[in-house]
Each structure stands twice: as C-alpha cells, then as structure tokens.
C-alpha cells in the first residue's frame, strides 16, 4: 500500500499536509512534465481541512485525505475541463463526473486536472505533441513520451507525486501509458465504472479506471468505484504462441521472467487472424463522429493545437455513420473466442507494449504499429474485458515495460492479485531520481 495512504490511515500525516505537498510538487515537477492542466488548490484544501476534522464515520472511508488527479476529459465542478483543446481552455463545468463523486465520497481529494491529448487522442494525430499543455514527458526519461491520452495521469503517478490518478481508455489509453511509465494500470470491464460526466470517445468501448503506484492502491480505488467483488484465482494463464514477434528482446526477456515469477501454469494459445485493431479503430471513428459531429464540422483551425486534427476530423465525417458496419460483425466472434479460452484458462498474458516509450518528437505511426500479441488489447476492447498492466522490467534502453493480463468480465480483482505476483518490484525506483533532476533543470526546459 502507498506510503501516503498508509501514513494518512495511521494519522501520521494530515490530509492538509498530503494535499499541500501534492499541489506543490504538481506545480513544479508536474508542470515541467507537461502533466498538469490546472490545480484545484482552493477546492482541495477546503476538502482536506474537512477530512482533518474527522467527521462522523471518517474512519470507515478507505481513501480519507488521499490526493488524486483526474484526466482532463473528466468533469470536476468549478474547474476547467478542456478535453485537451485550446478552444475549451476556459470552459468550466458545474457538475462532478460520477467517478469523482464516488472517490470523494470515499474520502479522496481531487487536486488537479491532468493532461490529455486533444479529444483524448481520438483524432489520431501523427505526433505526441497534441495536448493543450504540450507533449507529456516520461519521468524515466524526459525526452520520452508518457504515453497516449492518459499520459498526464501516468506521469504524475510515476513521478511519485500522486498515489493514483484516474484515466480513461478506449483502445489502450490506460494500459499503454502505465506500461511506459512503470506503474500499474487497470482497464475495468465495460460499464463496471460509470462514465457519466466523462467526455465520450466511443461509448461502446470507453472505460474509466485507475493508474496507480501499486496493485494494492489500484484495487482499493477500484473497490470505491465499482464495489468490492470476489478475487477469482488465476491458476492457468494463456500465452499467445507467437507473442515474441516484433517485441524488443529485452522486453521479451522481462516478460518471460515476470510470467515465471507468478507461479501459474502457462498454456499456449493461438490467436485468430481477425483484424481486431482495424475493427476497433473503425468503431472509434464512427462513435466519435456521433458524439462530436458539430465540433468536428464547425471548429476553426485555432480550436486545435495539432495542425492535422481538424483535417482528421473532416476525414472522420467523410466516412459517415456506417464506417464500422462490417467491423461490428467481428464482435460476436471475438466474444465467443474469449469465452472458449476462459473455459480452459483463467487469464491471458502478453507484453503490454513491444518496447519502452518512444521519444516525444517521434512520429507515432513508427512506434504504435501493433505487435502480434497486442491483438489481445484491441480484441479485449471490443469484447469489453478487463485488463491489468504491471511493471515487468525494462527494454534495451532501460525504459519500463509492462506485462498485461486480460480476464473474464468482472474479474478485475483476480487479475490485480495475479499481476501483483508478477510485478518487477525494482523497476519503479528509477523514475524518482530522474524526476528530481527537474528541479535542477529550470534553465534547460520550460
């Protein structure tokens, strides 16, 4: 369990102290990582003072006084909710998203809105520099990206500033940045966590979940969002027969070692040839158009930071509402394949990403082409299944890489427990030293 969470529960640290420290570090380190959109100082400190007053029943609140951040497509009342867009930089909403309400009822305190790509990356810009705050930097190496559209939450957690943050995923945007940043990421089952008050990308695929410094913290947060369900055992794990294709050799070695450390029986599985990545993307395109038709049609160029996003929006509109008609025919096949697999194994495993993080100025297409085993990521998105990534080791450049488990609907807690046994506990210690350099680099990086 997080040192901050444990200290708060033991009353060795006050909520006001925890929140103040988080705000101060976010204002310095977080901003230099381009991870912070806005700080919620007045709101957060008021809630911290209330937590320190120990209202009746406070001892039963599982996250009392714990600071967290929310990806900036998640509404927080009275704070800007920009969706990563310059055109919405000053937009303030008047109601909290359901996840923020649930976490604050559990005692947690939202201290910041955290960076995201424009429209949560839905428009497939060619570079990682498509956020209102600039490219979000990886705490392990400041020249590398923190990941896709939940990069702000991942960077803030990986830097040791926050015990957890809330991100969203449509096709990988919790799992990928968590892997790149050497932390735990949980993609819940579809509809396990409410999405009210969260910008839609593709509602049939969208999830809301935690990026956390440990599986224990992720489990506690998930319990506050979805209720404490059973911990289903994971004794047999399916591994794709050709999982190592296109994977960095160091990542492959780390994945093998992490799998072996978990103690589960490993079973080889053969992945179908179905184009699930393309199918999931077409579903995203069609549903993004349905959700944001007016914005994509009418926005002026200055509304976006990334020069290509307006053109991409126009291309989406041109595809029309039937873009995913044929793609959706794959969904029952994918659901049936997973059902057959889970009759024999308790989970499926693959390297979360084939390498560590790419450079912030890289052309994304050169890095995000799916490796063979990532079929499970897009197929899991289409089937609405949960996934968990934990640090497995480092790639050939010394950057974090992850191991991902996918399981049956509703098996989040079992996946977290199994992943914890495979977690490479030494990996996250490197990033704290790297981020501390930010304090000495003021003249080199703004």
Residue with structure tokens 């194994």?
Answer: 345
CA distances to 4, 53, 60, 62, 108 from 57, rounded to whole Å, are 20, 11, 6, 11, 14
Helix (H) or strand (E) holding 165: strand 164-169
Residues 69, 153: Cα–Cα separation, whole Å: 7
Residue 392's closest CA among 245, 247, 268, 270?
Answer: 247
Q: Which residues have a catalytic role annotated?
A: 71, 149, 173
Q: What is the DSSP pairing of strand 184-187 with strand 141-145? A: unpaired
Residues 444, 440: Cα–Cα separation, whole Å: 9
Residue with structure tokens 């008047």?
Answer: 94
Residues 236, 356: Cα–Cα separation, whole Å: 27
Provide the CB-side half-sphere exposure for 21 (13 A, CA). Answer: 14
Residues 12, 38: Cα–Cα separation, whole Å: 28
33-45 burial: b if 16+ Cβ within 10 Å, else e = bbbbbbbbbebbb
- CA angle, residues 336, 377, 203, in degrees to nearest 5: 80
* 389 three-class SS: strand
Other Cβ atoms within 10 Å of 229 Cβ, number: 14
Q: Show the beta-strand stretches assigned E in 3-115.
A: 36-39, 67-71, 109-114
Other Cβ atoms within 10 Å of 98 Cβ, number: 18
In the numeric block, which tokens belong to residue 406? Answer: 């996918």
Residues 353, 147: Cα–Cα separation, whole Å: 11
* DSSP states of 116-154: -BGGGGTT--SBS--BTT-PPEETTEEEEE--STTHHHH
Residue 149's closest CA among 168, 165, 133, 132?
Answer: 168
């Amino acid at each position: 369990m997080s040192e901050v969470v444990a200290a708060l529960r033991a009353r060795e640290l006050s909520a006001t102290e925890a929140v103040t420290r988080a705000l101060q570090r976010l204002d310095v380190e977080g901003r230099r990582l381009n991870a912070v959109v806005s700080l919620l100082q007045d709101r957060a400190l008021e809630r911290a003072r209330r937590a320190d007053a120990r209202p009746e029943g406070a001892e039963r609140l599982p996250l009392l006084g714990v600071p967290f951040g929310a990806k900036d497509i998640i509404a927080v009342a009275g704070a800007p909710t920009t969706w990563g867009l310059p055109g919405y930089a000053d937009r303030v909403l008047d109601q909290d998203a359901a996840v923020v309400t649930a976490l604050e009822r559990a005692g947690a305190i939202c201290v910041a809105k955290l960076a995201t790509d424009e429209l949560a990356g839905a428009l497939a810009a060619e570079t990682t520099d498509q956020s209102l705050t600039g490219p979000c930097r990886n705490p392990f190496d400041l020249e590398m990206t923190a990941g896709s559209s939940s990069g702000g939450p991942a960077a803030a957690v990986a830097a040791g500033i926050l015990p957890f943050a809330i991100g969203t995923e449509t096709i990988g945007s919790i799992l990928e940045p968590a892997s790149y940043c050497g932390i735990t990421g949980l993609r819940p089952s579809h509809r396990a966590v409410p999405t009210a008050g969260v910008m839609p990308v593709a509602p049939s695929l969208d999830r809301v979940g935690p990026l956390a410094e440990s599986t224990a913290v992720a489990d506690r947060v998930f319990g506050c969002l979805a209720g404490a369900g059973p911990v289903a055992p994971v004794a047999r794990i399916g591994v794709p027969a050709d999982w190592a294709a296109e994977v960095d050799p160091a990542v492959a070695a780390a994945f093998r070692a992490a799998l072996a450390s978990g103690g589960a029986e490993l079973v080889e599985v053969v992945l179908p040839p179905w184009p699930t990545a393309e199918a999931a993307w077409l579903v995203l395109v069609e549903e993004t158009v349905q959700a944001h038709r007016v914005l994509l049609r009418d926005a002026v160029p200055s509304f976006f930071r990334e020069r290509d996003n307006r053109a991409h929006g126009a291309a989406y509109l041109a595809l029309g509402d039937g873009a995913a008609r044929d793609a959706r025919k794959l969904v029952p096949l994918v659901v049936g394949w997973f059902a057959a697999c889970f009759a024999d194994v308790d989970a499926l495993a693959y390297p979360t990403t084939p390498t560590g993080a790419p450079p912030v100025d890289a052309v994304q297409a050169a890095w995000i082409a799916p490796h063979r085993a990532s079929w499970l990521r897009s197929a899991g998105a289409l089937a609405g299944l949960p996934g968990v990534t934990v640090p497995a080791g480092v790639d050939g450049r010394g950057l974090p890489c992850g191991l991902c488990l996918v399981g049956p609907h509703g098996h989040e807690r079992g996946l977290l427990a199994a992943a914890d046994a495979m977690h490479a506990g030494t990996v996250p210690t490197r990033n704290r030293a790297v981020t501390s350099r930010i304090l000495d680099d003021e003249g080199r990086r703004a």
